[in-house]
Amino acid sequence: MSLSLRPYQEIAADFLFESDRAMILAPVGAGKTALTLTAMRDMLRAGVVQRFLVVAPKRVAESVWPTEAKLWAPELSLSVVIGAPTQRVKALRANVQVVVATYDNLQWLAEQPLQFDGVVFDELTRLKNPSGKRFKALLKVLDAMPIRWGLTGSFTSNGLEDVFGQCKVIDQSLLGRSKGAFLQQYFHCINRDYGDWEPRADALPMVMERIRKATFVLDAGEYKDKLPPLHIVEMRCAMEMTEYKAMKKDFMVQFPDAQAIAANAGVVTGKLQQMSSGFVYDTRTTPSDRPGKFTTTKSAVWFSDHKFELLDDLLTENQHANTIIAYQYQEELAELQRRYPRAVTLDEPDAIDRWNAGKVELLLAHPKSAGHGLNLQFGGCHMVFLSLPWSLELFEQTIGRLHRSGQTHDVWVYVLLTEDTVDEKIYVALHDKRSLSDLAMEALR
């Protein structure tokens, strides 16, 4: 027996059912997958759509859609297009009503004979770049799919410019066919050499007004009282700054047995974020045995464990409650595994099931792996950002793995920040992007 939607989800599902081209804009945990499956089921029952294609991030395609379909639309037949080419072809040709594919396979998918009249893009922001290869491949086959729905948490998370590509995939009549014309109409060019554009003062409300008819906003006020409170706590720590200041000033820092160099200002930002966590990569390129070929080696140099001392104290203070630790760099993961040998990563067999069963004390996750669709709310209510992503969408989506429907405890998110470093700038940048996203949501209501 399938579950029942909440009233606010029913309204959103009705909006999809009544719309050929539509976008659902809702914060994480609002049940976008559940309401979309309900609308898909009703469209198939009514004969409006014969077969749906769902395109989603890999882990969401593998774990979320098959699981959620059993809960919300158990009568639907579904296959997942993953694996080797022969496996993908078999899944694509299966006699099912819903085929779930990944964004990684879009170019391959566009070369196959397709029989779909409806398509759902889960995490629509993956298609924000209209000049990308996946986007161009998709456009070649999109005309045969008159029913197009997009799901996203915040399609302006990295700026108003991102809205164009997402809207073009759903309905070109919303913002036009040409991104150049879109930019000319709503932006000022501030650096033509680098293609940098800045929105005009009145651009946001004008763009939101144009896309309003195709957009359903799930107002957080409709369901926030159904979720437990979310607490985000900044935890600051200090480190000895000699090496950090040298990198910031000279783009280079010398250690007793190694040397870290940033080739340009863009690279130095990444180096400074590494150093905010207490290490930096020493990257060296040397000639190989083959003429004209070079070998690049990368080794980490640790010079401070300030964040890990803070992390130890935090875990102890929380009595080693089950906790998700989000990291950015592979060396951070390696150090976490050295310090906490029993920690589990998302890639390990049955990691999600074991976590949700309460059998994993520390789950290590990169925001790009944990950022979309995963249900992790049953295994714990604590999360630590050892370091931050630059993307607001990834930051919010990662938190949303715990703070979502089904969570029964207050959710505590701890953000570890090294004082007077780029950590603080990243955190401020995330808040600035949040402001833009909030304004966009408000303009659409």
Calculate mean pLDDT across residues 68-92: 95
Q: Which are the contacts of 218, defined by CB distance < 8 A and separation ≥ 6?
A: 8, 9, 12, 24, 25, 26, 27, 30, 32
Instruction: Return the residue matching tokens 């008819």.
Output: 213
369 with 424, same domain: the answer is yes
- Band (pLDDT 50/70/90 cuts) for residue 439 is low
The domain tally of the chain equals 3
Q: Which are the contacts of 208, defined by CB distance < 8 A and separation ≥ 6?
A: 440, 443, 444
Structural domain contains residue 260: yes
Q: What is the radius of gyration, based on Cα positions, of the chain? A: 23
Structural domain contains residue 175: yes
294 with 189, same domain: the answer is no
18 with 94, same domain: the answer is yes
Retrieve residue 398's tokens: 């990662």
pLDDT at 414: 93
pLDDT in tens, 361-415: 999 999 988 856 688 999 999 999 999 998 888 898 899 999 988 888 889 999 9
Q: What are phi and psi of 242, to 5 degrees?
A: -60, -50
Percent of the chain with pLDDT over 90: 58
pLDDT at 313: 86
310 with 217, same domain: the answer is no
Calculate mean pLDDT across residues 136-150: 94
Q: Are 404 and 433 in contact (CB under 8 A)?
A: no
278 with 410, same domain: the answer is no
Structural domain contains residue 2: no
46 with 160, same domain: the answer is yes
DSSP 3-state assignment of 167? helix
Length in residues, the chain: 445
Structural domain contains residue 51: yes
124 DSSP 8-state letter:
G
Q: Are 145 and 116 in contact (CB under 8 A)?
A: yes
216 with 142, same domain: the answer is yes
State which of 283, 302, 321 marks the end of a domain: 302
Q: Please check the confidence at residue 219 and state whether its pLDDT lies above 70.
A: no
End-to-end CA distance of the chain: 34
121 with 231, same domain: the answer is no
pTM for the full predicted model: 0.66
Structural domain contains residue 26: yes
User: Which residue segment(s) compose the domain that 282 sits in?
Assistant: 242-302
120 with 209, same domain: the answer is yes
Q: Which residue has the higher pLDDT, 291 or 175?
A: 175
State which of 155, 189, 223 marks the end of a domain: 223
CA 74 from centroid of its chain's CA atoms = 27
pLDDT at 385: 97
Q: What are phi and psi of 192, to 5 degrees?
A: -65, -30
Q: Return the axis-axis angle of helices 306-317 and 330-339, rounded to nearest 10°.
A: 50
Number of H helices, E strands in the chain: 19, 19
Q: Please check the confidence at residue 221 and state whether its pLDDT lies above 60.
A: no
297 with 372, same domain: the answer is no
255 with 284, same domain: the answer is yes
Structural domain contains residue 1: no
State which of 302, 323, 339 marks the end of a domain: 302
66 with 15, same domain: the answer is yes
Cα–Cα nearest to 166, from 114, 136, 199, 124: 124
CA–CA distances in Å: residue 23 to residues 69, 203, 441? 20, 20, 13
Cα–Cα nearest to 342, from 323, 316, 370, 366: 323
CA distance linking residue 105 with residue 12, whole number of Å = 29
pLDDT in tens, 14-72: 999 999 999 998 766 678 899 999 999 999 999 999 999 999 988 889 888 998 999 99
Q: Which residues pair with 25 in a beta bridge?
A: 152, 217
CATH of residue 414's domain is 3.40.50.300
